[in-house]
Structure 1
């Protein structure tokens, strides 16, 4: 079905309510949504540990309301309804502006892929119908220097961890929907304090998408950010750390006059918005940091190349997380696999990087079209968490330099660049 048809048929999306309870020594959260007239949805979130402090109900409800607002995008995207009604709580006018901007920027890839004109008149109206109340700002106990790190599976996470080990007395990691990759990274990092969060989306999403309802990218890192703020309050972490690198601020293409950025919810723009919003409306004294914000992908790869303990445990490939046979940790077909291989190639022995990935990706001529998109020679930068064309070109130059110094044979994918100067 086309977006226009769905918007006309389902003109109103409602964030109905949320709940919070302690059950079986776990913290359970539920969010309830409705696409009028009759499509109801529920998200379940389970946190592996219990809060050890007395929780202020109003602060908790405020944090849950905002987390639910990010979560709703997984359901709103089915119909792109022109009206969003928030019945679960009240938002100030400035907060509504924040959320509208987050939706328009964070859902940019979704708009492009579904050819939705988000610039049309009356495209989106957000109403709040909850009871008006004074903003309940939370406060973190700052007696102990505690830092909560968002744990992913890629090379960024170990780099962030090792940087923060020198700055924070106590580190903890939180993982959303953990698997053995996350567990191995936590073990290698010797992080004992862990918060494991399981989120289950309503299965109706996938059933509806099979019959023509809309699919598309949502700002996942924004969800992690608001989840981390909730966890920071529940467990008194004064600092929250993410692996948001410099290249995440670089977009993919322009659509309807706006830069579309797959990684917008990791960008410097979003980080600044989040910090200001949190300080004013959520937690007055929590610190949100990204230790690798000013580092290029090449610099991150160079640092990671020195962290030998993690080399056979990290995975940057999204597809690999869906592969049932976990002996195959890299799909070796996607932009993330190729970009990660290329960035690490100059800094690791060739035999080792081939062992990590299971093959030499630079010898796979089928990956040529992907490399040409990564360098900016053809098309636009892939909708993946990959670096800029400039960083890809630098990785190629450094790889060529390594091969020349070692007197090795040029791999298939690099042969056309042998006599080319990018700078």
Structure 2
């Protein structure tokens, strides 16, 4: 066995890499470190030049962030409006209207053009900062522009890479630029108030990408929330708040009408994503308000003697929010009475949407796409080319099943006095 030597007794061999670094065993004039350094120096200098800066940089002070855009129809083309925040007027929470001296923390500007892009370019030509739409939250379309057609508007929204396809989209009552000028009190920007409404349970959330896909698809029409500015009541100085009052349905890419009330509730059951909402029904001589917490539906096409039929099956769960009658909802027969009233009401809501589909030729739930997947050959040869007319002859069979499984403490009126025993 070889003895184990301490580290200080180990003699490094000449010619190894470690010896070269230490200079051991190297002949004078044979040091290769200097030539290696001389070869690396130009590469280091070139790399330093390349990474010293960004030739295509964009400074924050050079851009104007567009939070919302509005598109209106004019006689000679389109009007494009933008809402841009003013950082200098933001101020603190105590500054009037969000800025010092009560100045608005944003500015709104607009311009007209023969096309949407031409109007946008003319607007850019008089601004000192480059408009940046990468953070746009809402795209608002005026009512007249929606009636004229959504195809050109959605073309520019999807063609320019900077535009966000996840921005919320809606149709305004009247002009879009007028709605952008609304001044809700709870938010600094009308855009922020509108975005919160569009993503809440108050409406079915519709984004730019959803509208683009539905317009380019076959056998379906798109749907958009309908927004208006309303004056608040109960105040000497009424505020102007934004409100979602229904849905704009289209036919052939153009606005065909507005669904409100019962029809707007029925649309919730026919879209893919269900949003909770409140249903109020009459029970005897009084009313009960129930929140439909969960809901789902299925739509299946079938043929009867060659005519097109659809079976719509809806299922939901509800919670009693308010019951002004004296019924004991702990008793099953009273709950079943309420469930029957809810099922009748929801059936009427969905039937109201069916009337719109047939009369306005608006395929809101995409019935044509479902029919094409079920009967592809007949769709291509018979129904597809003439779908706007064929949809007017369809029949709907609606079946609703609602389960009220949370009655809470409303089964007993806590304010009512107990009746004395006889």
Fold shared, TM-score > 0.5 on shorter chain: no
Bigger share in strand: 2
Q: TM-score, normalised by structure 1?
A: 0.26
Q: Give 1 or 2: higher helix fraction.
A: 1
TM-score when normalising by structure 2: 0.27
Flag the structure with more relative contact order, 1 or 2, with Cα contacts below 8 A and sequence separation at least 6.
1
